[in-house]
C-alpha cells in the first residue's frame, strides 16, 4: 500500500513540474508581449499628430545612387523626418563625401552620424542610433543604393500607421532599376513565404523604435555583419514578437537598384 502511495506521489510530481513551468513560461511570454505594447504606446499619439520618421542609412560604394537616395528623402512632401547615417570608425573617402552631401541636403532637418567605436560590434552602434529615438518614432531601414519611388512615400506611411494601432512593422512593393519593372520574384516569394519572412528579407522596412529598443536592450548580440547586409540577424527577434502586427503596403514605395551580379 505504501509503495502504491509513493508511486502516485512521484507520478503526480512528474506531471506537476512541466505543467508549472509551462504555465509560468506562457504567463511570462504573455506579460512580455503586453509590455511591448505598453512600451510602444507609452507616448500617446492621437489621430492628428503626425508620426516622426527616422531614416537609418549606411553609406554604399555607389556614390550616385547614395546621392539619389538622399535627394529622394529631401524632396518628400511630408516633412516630419530626420536622417541618421551609421558608419565605421574610419570612413572611406566615398563615405565622407556621402556624409557631406547628406548634411548639405538636410539643413532643415535633424541630421546625425553614428560612428562605430573601436572594436565595437556594429549592433551596439545600431543600438545607440535607435536609442536616440523616442518609442513612437518610426525607423525606416533601407539600402542607400535604393531610393524612394515618389514624393509621397512618407505621407503614405504616416496614413498607414495612423490607420491602426495594431500595425507595428511595414514593408511595401518596389520597382527594379534600370528596367522600372515590378519584381516578379519578390511577388512570388511573398506568396511562398509568410509575411514574417518577407518583411525580414525586404530591403525596405519600417518599425517602431520602441519595439527594437526593448527587445535588443535585454539581449547581447555580437554579430559583426552590417545590419544593412544581414538585417535578418537584427530584425528577426522583432518579428518573432510582432508576427501579427506586420502590414504589407501594396503601393510602390521604392526603386531597387539591382547589383551588377544579378
Q: Are residues 179 and 152 in the same domain?
A: yes
With a threshold of 0.85, does the pTM exceed it?
no
Q: Are residues 172 and 97 in the same domain?
A: yes
Q: Are residues 11 and 113 in the same domain?
A: no
Q: Are residues 7 and 104 in the same domain?
A: no
Q: 205 lies in a domain?
A: yes
Q: Are residues 36 and 124 in the same domain?
A: no
Q: Are residues 209 and 175 in the same domain?
A: yes
Selection from 203, 191, 190, 192 nearest residue 235 by Cα: 203
Q: 45 lies in a domain?
A: no
pLDDT tens, residue order, the chain (262 aa) = 555 555 455 544 544 444 444 434 334 444 444 455 544 554 555 667 899 999 999 888 899 999 999 999 999 999 999 999 998 877 788 889 999 999 999 877 789 999 887 777 777 888 889 989 999 999 999 999 999 999 999 999 999 999 999 999 999 999 999 999 987 777 777 777 778 888 888 999 999 999 988 877 655 444 444 444 445 566 777 877 787 899 999 999 999 998 754 4
Per-residue pLDDT reduced to its tens digit, 10-27 = 544 544 444 444 434 334
Grid cell for residue 225: 555583419
- CATH number, domain of 151, equals 3.90.550.10
Distance of CA 233 to the CA centre of its chain: 11
Q: Are residues 106 and 187 in the same domain?
A: yes
Q: Are residues 98 and 12 in the same domain?
A: no
C-alpha to C-alpha distance for 100 and 106, rounded to whole angstroms = 10
Q: What is the 3-state secondary structure (H, E, C) of 145-165?
A: CCEECCCCHHHHHHHHHHHCC
Q: 112 lies in a domain?
A: yes
Q: Are residues 123 and 69 in the same domain?
A: yes
Q: Are residues 18 and 115 in the same domain?
A: no
Q: Are residues 88 and 198 in the same domain?
A: yes
Q: Are residues 201 and 231 in the same domain?
A: yes
Please state the domain count of the chain.
2
Containing domain of residue 27, as a range? 1-40
Q: 213 lies in a domain?
A: yes
Q: 262 lies in a domain?
A: no
Amino acid at each position: 500500500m505504501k509503495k502504491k502511495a509513493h508511486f502516485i506521489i512521484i507520478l503526480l510530481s512528474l506531471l506537476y513540474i512541466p505543467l508549472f513551468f509551462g504555465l509560468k513560461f506562457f504567463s511570462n511570454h504573455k506579460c512580455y508581449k503586453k509590455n511591448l505594447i505598453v512600451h510602444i504606446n507609452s507616448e500617446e499619439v492621437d489621430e492628428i499628430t503626425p508620426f516622426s520618421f527616422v531614416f537609418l542609412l549606411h553609406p554604399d560604394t555607389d556614390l550616385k545612387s547614395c546621392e539619389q537616395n538622399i535627394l529622394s528623402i529631401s524632396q518628400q512632401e511630408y516633412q516630419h523626418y530626420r536622417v541618421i547615417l551609421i558608419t565605421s570608425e574610419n570612413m572611406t573617402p566615398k563615405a565622407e563625401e556621402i556624409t557631406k552631401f547628406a548634411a548639405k541636403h538636410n539643413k532643415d532637418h535633424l541630421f546625425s552620424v553614428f560612428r562605430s567605436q573601436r572594436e565595437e560590434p556594429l549592433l551596439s552602434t545600431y543600438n545607440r542610433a535607435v536609442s536616440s529615438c523616442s518609442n513612437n518614432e518610426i525607423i525606416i531601414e533601407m539600402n542607400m543604393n535604393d531610393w524612394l519611388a515618389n514624393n509621397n512615400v512618407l505621407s503614405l506611411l504616416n496614413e498607414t500607421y495612423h490607420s491602426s494601432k495594431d500595425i507595428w512593422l511595414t514593408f511595401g512593393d518596389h520597382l527594379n532599376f534600370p528596367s522600372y519593372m515590378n519584381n516578379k520574384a519578390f511577388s512570388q516569394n511573398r506568396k511562398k513565404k509568410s509575411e514574417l519572412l518577407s518583411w525580414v528579407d525586404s530591403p525596405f522596412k519600417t518599425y517602431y523604435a520602441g519595439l527594437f529598443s526593448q527587445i535588443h536592450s535585454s539581449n547581447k548580440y555580437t554579430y559583426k555583419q552590417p545590419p544593412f547586409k544581414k538585417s535578418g540577424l537584427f530584425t528577426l527577434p522583432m518579428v518573432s514578437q510582432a508576427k501579427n502586427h506586420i502590414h504589407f503596403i501594396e503601393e510602390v514605395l521604392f526603386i531597387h537598384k539591382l547589383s551588377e551580379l544579378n
